Amino acid sequence: MNLAVAILALALGWAAMTGNFSPLNLLLGAAVAGLALWFLRVQLSAPRVWRRSVRFARLVGLFFYELLVSAIKVALLVIRPNLSAHLRPAIIAFPLTEKSDAEITLLANMITLTPGTLSIDVSADRRVLYVHVLSLKSRDALINGIAAGFEKQVIEVFE
C-alpha cells in the first residue's frame, strides 16, 4: 500500500473517531499516522504481517458468524413453551492445544462472548479450559466444533 494512502486513511479514521473533520484535526491525525507508520516500518514491511492480517480477518468473520448462529439458537431455545425440557446445561473440559496466555485468553473470551457458552476457568497447567454450555447435545461434537473453529483460527493468527 502506498504510504500516502495509508496516512490519509489513518487520518480520516482519526477524524471519524474524534468526530472532528477540521483541517487542523486532519493534520494532527496525519502527523500521528505518519509517526506511527515510521515506528512500525520494519514490522509492516514483513510479508508475514499481511498473512497474519488475513488470518485475523478470517477469525473475526468466524466469530461474527458463530455469534449470529448461536444467538439465533439461544433465541429459539428461549421462546419454546417448555424451556426446562430443552435445557441441558453442562460443564465440559476442553483440552487446549495452545499454550500462550494471549492465545488462551483470546479463545476463552471468544467462547464467553458467544451466546449459550461461558468460559469458566483454565486449569493450573493450562491444558484444559472449562466451558459451561446452555444446552449440550454431544460433548464430542462441541469439543470438535471449538477445536476446528475458534481454536484452529486463534492458533493460526498467533503463528
User: What pLDDT digit, counting tens, does each position of 76-126 carry?
Assistant: 888 888 877 788 899 999 999 877 899 999 999 999 999 999 999 999 999
Looking at residue 84, what is its pLDDT? 79
Looking at residue 37, what is its pLDDT? 84
Lay out the sheet containing 90-95: strands in order across. 90-95, 128-133, 117-122
What the block records as the C-alpha cell of 56 is 485475523
Looking at residue 43, what is its pLDDT? 65
In angstroms, what CA-CA distances link 23 with 6, 27, 28, 34, 135? Answer: 18, 6, 9, 16, 54
**Average pLDDT score, the chain:** 88
Looking at residue 85, what is its pLDDT? 79
Give the whole-number percent of the chain exceeding pLDDT 70. Answer: 94
Write out pLDDT tens, residues 11-56. 898 898 989 989 999 999 999 998 988 888 766 666 666 777 788 8
Residue 63, SS3 per DSSP: helix
In angstroms, what CA-CA distances link 61 with 54, 65, 67, 99? Answer: 11, 6, 10, 24
Looking at residue 77, what is its pLDDT? 87
In this predicted model, which residue has the larger pLDDT, 158 or 92? 92
Stated as kind and residue range, the H or E segment containing 42 is helix 41-45
Looking at residue 143, what is its pLDDT? 93
